[in-house]
Amino acid sequence: MLKIDNLRVNYGGIEAVKGISFEVPDKSIVTLIGANGAGKSTTLRSIVGLVKPAFGSITFDGEEITKKDTPYIISKGITLVPEGRRVFPDLTVLENIKIGAYLRNDSLEDDIEWVYSLFPRLKERSWQLSGTLSGGEQQMLAVARALMGRPKLLMMDEPSLGLAPLIVKDIFSIIKEINKHGVTVLLIEQNANMALHTADIGYVLETGKITMTGSGKELLADESVKAAYLGKKK
């Protein structure tokens, strides 16, 4: 579904992404893991058109989208759930959800009921101002809003950041459920343990370069990954 080929991205005079290549198969869950500053968020922002690459190509569903603008890329079926949730605090839960469908002109009722089935807590709080929700509920709302665009590819930037362990488990269970409904997921996450347990394929990104590739299970079993990202000694 998504193919990244020799992608290079600069911030000022700094090369943040240094010629990475990887693929995201249709209906899979793929994760990029790595430390802060490895280039993970920059990669996602490049895919959705928020940052323009200096070199390389991004192909989605057979179409090169490297130089396309963000609204066009979103219209093709790629949605990004950014780090930090970024809900609209002065709007209700339901109003936030509907904003996710701003490119659509059809009925939203069935999709609203679907996201409420994924996130029952949001249904209970439909008329509550989003700024009064807990951090976990705001993360759920950010995902629900993204799903209203009916994405083919859902990209998520650190969905577990700052959340309690029980809420993190809920979020990853929902990611699996979303994937079962045919949505491809590209996930970047500092909680490498949860990410690799969830993902079909994992890539390790270090200082702008991909240093390892494998299935989630293979990377979980790798001694260097254990030492660097899972808090286990070699």
Domains and CATH numbers, the chain: 2-77+151-229 (3.40.50.300), 89-150 (no CATH)
Confidence (pLDDT) at 13: 80
* Ranges of the chain with pLDDT below 70: 232-234
Measure CA 174 to chain center: 13
Confidence (pLDDT) at 101: 85
Token pair recorded at residue 76: 């093709």
Q: What pLDDT digit, counting tens, does each position of 77-136 carry?
A: 999 998 877 899 999 999 999 998 877 778 888 999 999 999 999 999 999 999 999 988
Q: How many CB atoms lie within 10 A of CB 32?
A: 26
Taking the whole predicted model, whether its pTM rises above 0.75 is answered as yes
